[in-house]
Amino acid sequence: MKDKNLYKQILGLSGPWEVIKVDLSIEDEEVDIEISYKSNKGTCPECGAQCSIYDHRDERRWRHLDTCQMKTYLICKTPRIKCEKHGIKTIDVPWAESSSRATLLFERFAIDLLLASKNQTKAAGILRVSFDTLHHIMAKAVERGLSHREHEDIKHIGIDEKSMKKGHNYISVLSNSKKRCVIEVSEGRATRSARTLINNGLTDKQKAQLEAVSMDMWKAFINAVHKELPNASIVHDKFHIIKYLNDAVDKTRRSEARKLKKSEDKTLVKSKYLFLKNQENMTDKQLTRFKQIQELNLSTSQAWAAKENFKEFFNSETINDGKFFFAEWYQDIMDRSLTKMIIVGKMLIAHSEGLLNYIKHPIDNSVAEWLNGKIQEIKVIGRGFRTFENFRIAILFFLGKLKLYPQESQ
């Protein structure tokens, strides 16, 4: 266990790096491997020039992979050189990145374990490190991944919101639907948050080449896109639109159910999910009752039919087709006095450009919604996050499709 040459081979060290001491503590279950630099010359980390050793930094410790089931640490007083061009600089060590608390091999293993388990607490327990140490590894991996992210051409993006904590505490999420990944996350959902999201997530070149953005009809997101992405078309997400229509159906049902109950008519009692569920997912009993209600031609049934009819809008082949369809659809709900549906119809008129843009750019937030589900899983497994930055790091680590590993160990 104290063989210096053995540990030199295990660590893959070569001159002028030498293992000069191995301390074993059975009580603490730890092995400390002391390393020294045996040369009066060193390489400048900025320009690669060979320079004279100036002095040595204070002793530092790096966590390494366990050896013989013992926690293993590397210890070294890292040399500093004096470069004529760059001044006094600490030389790079072959076992770790600068400012890291762990070796390259330990970081890679920690990243693999996190990706496999999706659980920071369990991973920290297996690795026998503190939560803060593991989070530092994750933060470095995300920083590394963002710096090496390939700035490929992006034509379409999605912007969506996600609750971070109970109450009105939200994050905004920028996603790449083609790669099915999160590009960036910002705190809040105000215009300023959305602008920060766009500017942090996209390069100027990507912003200029972007064709369309899929989003809800949230004013702050619209304002941010108009300001930061003037060349991109706003496409209002069809799933959000259907959700508004579903809400209108449910409000119609509740209102009509109250009126019917006054005359002791229980036709719509406990019928909520009949009008929210797809017919193909209904049981035989549910389907029979649903058809019986439909035959009564109640306002609720008419609202449900209007919602279903609206789905045909998304099959429009031209802008004129879409305009004509919408005009007829809106006139129909007006003629039937479907108050709750008319409210949604007026909202769609106010956002008609974003609605019609779907015909030119048939994109939606389906990937963004899928990512929101994955973000929820991260939140649940992590039992919430104390700070936004911790939440952001976890989201980008697991869902950013970043190159997380230290480059030297890839």
Q: Are residues 394 and 337 in the same domain?
A: no
Query: Which tokens go with 231?
Result: 């060349």
In a domain, residue 407? The reply is: no
Contact (CB, 8 A) for 169 and 163: yes
In a domain, residue 129? The reply is: no
* pLDDT average, residue stretch 172-198: 95
Strands, sheet with 17-25, edge to edge from the N-terminal-most edge strand: 17-25, 30-37, 70-76, 60-67
* pLDDT average, residue stretch 353-369: 95
Q: Are residues 211 and 263 in the same domain?
A: no
Tens digit of pLDDT for each residue in 59-90?
A: 999 999 998 889 999 999 999 999 999 999 99
Tens digit of pLDDT for each residue in 388-406?
A: 999 999 999 999 999 999 8
pTM, two decimals, is 0.87
Q: Are residues 190 and 263 in the same domain?
A: no
**pLDDT value, residue 1:** 54
Q: Are residues 178 and 192 in the same domain?
A: yes
The answer, yes or no, to whether residue 281 has pLDDT greater than 90, is no
CA distance 319 to 87: 64
The answer, yes or no, to whether residue 274 has pLDDT greater than 80, is yes
The answer, yes or no, to whether residue 410 has pLDDT greater than 50, is no
* pLDDT average, residue stretch 261-285: 83
Q: Is beta strand 30-37 parallel, antiparallel or unpaired with respect to 60-67? A: unpaired
Q: Are residues 315 and 389 in the same domain?
A: no
**pLDDT value, residue 161:** 93
Alpha-carbon dihedral angle through residues 53, 56, 60, 62, given to the nearest 10 degrees: 10
In a domain, residue 146? The reply is: no
Residue 335: how many CA atoms within 13 Å on its side-chain side? 8
Q: Are residues 282 and 331 in the same domain?
A: yes
The answer, yes or no, to whether residue 2 has pLDDT greater than 80, is no
In a domain, residue 252? The reply is: yes
Place of tokens 């919408």: 326
The answer, yes or no, to whether residue 349 has pLDDT greater than 90, is yes
Q: Are residues 206 and 263 in the same domain?
A: no
Q: What is the CATH number of the domain that holds 168?
A: 3.30.420.10
Q: Are residues 231 and 247 in the same domain?
A: no
The DSSP annotation for 61-106 comes to: EEEEEEETTEEEEEEE--EEEEETTTEEEEPPPTTS-TT-SB-HHH
CA distance 91 to 103: 16
Q: Are residues 259 and 395 in the same domain?
A: no
Query: Which tokens go with 329?
Result: 């659809």
Residue 410: how many CA atoms within 13 Å on its side-chain side? 9
Q: What are phi and psi of 14, to 5 degrees?
A: -140, 160
Place of tokens 């087709």: 321
Q: Are residues 166 and 212 in the same domain?
A: yes
Q: Could you tell me the residue range of the domain that residue 274 belongs to?
A: 238-360
Q: Are residues 180 and 289 in the same domain?
A: no
| Average of per-residue pLDDT values in the chain | 92
* pLDDT average, residue stretch 201-217: 94
pLDDT range class, residue 283, cuts 50, 70, 90: confident
* pLDDT average, residue stretch 343-347: 97
Q: What is the amino acid identity at position 391?
A: F
Q: Are residues 194 and 251 in the same domain?
A: no
Among 73-87, 143-157, 298-312, 341-355, the least confident range? 143-157
Residue percentage of the chain with pLDDT more than 90? 75
Work out how many domains the chain is built from and give that number.
3
Query: Which tokens go with 392?
Result: 């952001």
Count other Cβ atoms within 10 Å, centred on residue 49. Answer: 13
Place of tokens 């002791």: 264
> Of residues 77 and 264, which shows the higher confidence score?
77
